């Protein structure tokens, strides 16, 4: 007997929002402007950024700066500024089909919450750029929850804010190992990795994903297949 699903939590960059290297470009600009990664070779810094994709940016910069919290805070501010610049230069696009996929989940009676490692200002710029304010129920940044991923806080904060009845009634999907780990640590009933972002199938599977999907548009079908959602046609 499975618990009926009530809430789906989706990551933003690389899961519902097209990334195309924007996060890496923003990291590069922030590093150039603040020197935050000067204590290690650039390749090593970039590798850390890639491995930790999905985690809170302040946590990533704290590591890069060798634990210098004020330097990490300056770098985080520079990152958010650079990300906003790049979005202004290049625009923001959804992962193809993401908005329809979210609407399909909503039409199935689910709440949909977006989560991100970005600060609220960046998160809201992306949501405004996509015109998704009325599409989603809520969007959460680490500062809204406590700790960033891979801690379970974002998932649990989404559950509390939407008043879902059980962690078993929550599904989580994201493109990074940290997304999958945070879902597992929160006890979510279903945790999926998606292949439109930072990490590959072996990494997402090893992190404990119940399924690894080509992209977010395959999520609803996977939920129906596992009888976590009733098979109803939506338009």
Region of 8 (left: φ > 0; alpha: ψ -120 to 50; beta: rest) is beta
Segment contacting Mg ion (CB under 5 A): 30-38, 55-63, 82-90, 167-175? 167-175
Q: How far is the CB of 108 from Mg ion (least distance, A)?
A: 23
Residue (74 or 199) nearer to Mg ion, CB: 199
Residue 231: count other Cβ atoms within 10 Å of its Cβ: 9
| Residue 183 makes contact with Mg ion by CB under 5 A | no
CA angle 38, 41, 46 (to 5 degrees): 95
Residue with tokens 């297949």: 225
Instruction: Give me the residue whose beta carbon is nearest to Mg ion.
Output: 14
> What character string, x for contact with Mg ion (CB under 5 A) and - otherwise, covers 24-63?
------------------------------x---------
Comparison of 149 and 220: residue with beta carbon closer to Mg ion: 149
Residue 33 or 48: which CB sits closer to Mg ion?
48
- Is the CB of 17 or the CB of 164 nearer to Mg ion? 17
Name which of 193 and 229 has its Cβ closer to Mg ion. 193
Asked if 168 and 189 touch (Cβ cutoff 8 Å), the reply is: yes
**Range in contact with Mg ion (rule: CB under 5 A) among 10-18, 38-46, 63-71, 98-106:** 10-18
- Which residues in the 96-155 window bind Mg ion by CB under 5 A? none
Kindly write out the interface string for residues 184-213 of this chain, putting x where it contacts Mg ion by CB under 5 A and - elsewhere.
-------------x----------------
CB of 122 to Mg ion, least distance (A): 13
175 binds Mg ion (CB under 5 A): yes
- Complex with Mg ion: residue 36 or 204, whichever CB lies closer: 204
CA angle 67, 70, 74 (to 5 degrees): 115
Contact with Mg ion (CB under 5 A) among 6, 9, 10, 14: 14
End-to-end CA distance of the chain: 28
Q: Does 13 bind Mg ion (CB under 5 A)?
A: yes
Instruction: List contacts with Mg ion (CB under 5 A).
Output: 11, 13-14, 54, 175, 197
């Amino acid at each position: 007997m499975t618990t009926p699903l009530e809430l789906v939590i989706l990551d933003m960059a690389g899961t519902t929002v097209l990334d195309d290297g924007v996060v890496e470009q923003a990291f590069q600009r922030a590093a150039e402007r603040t020197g935050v990664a000067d204590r290690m070779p650039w390749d090593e810094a970039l590798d850390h950024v890639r491995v930790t994709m999905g985690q809170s940016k302040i946590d990533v910069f704290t590591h890069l700066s060798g634990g210098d919290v004020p330097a990490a805070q300056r770098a985080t501010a520079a990152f958010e500024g650079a990300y906003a610049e790049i979005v202004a230069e290049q625009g923001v696009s959804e992962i193809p089909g993401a908005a329809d996929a979210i609407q399909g989940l909503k039409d199935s009676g689910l709440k949909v919450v977006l989560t991100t490692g970005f600060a609220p200002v960046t998160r809201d710029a992306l949501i405004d750029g996509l015109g998704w304010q009325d599409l989603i129920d809520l969007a959460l940044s680490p500062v809204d929850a406590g700790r960033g991923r891979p801690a379970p806080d974002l998932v649990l904060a989404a559950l509390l804010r939407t008043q879902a009845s059980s962690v078993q009634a929550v599904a989580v999907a994201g493109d990074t190992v940290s997304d999958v780990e945070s879902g597992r640590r929160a006890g979510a009933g279903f945790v999926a990795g998606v292949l439109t972002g930072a990490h590959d199938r072996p990494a997402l599977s090893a992190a404990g994903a119940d399924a690894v999907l080509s992209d977010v548009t395959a999520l609803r079908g996977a939920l129906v297949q596992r009888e976590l959602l009733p098979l109803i046609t939506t338009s």
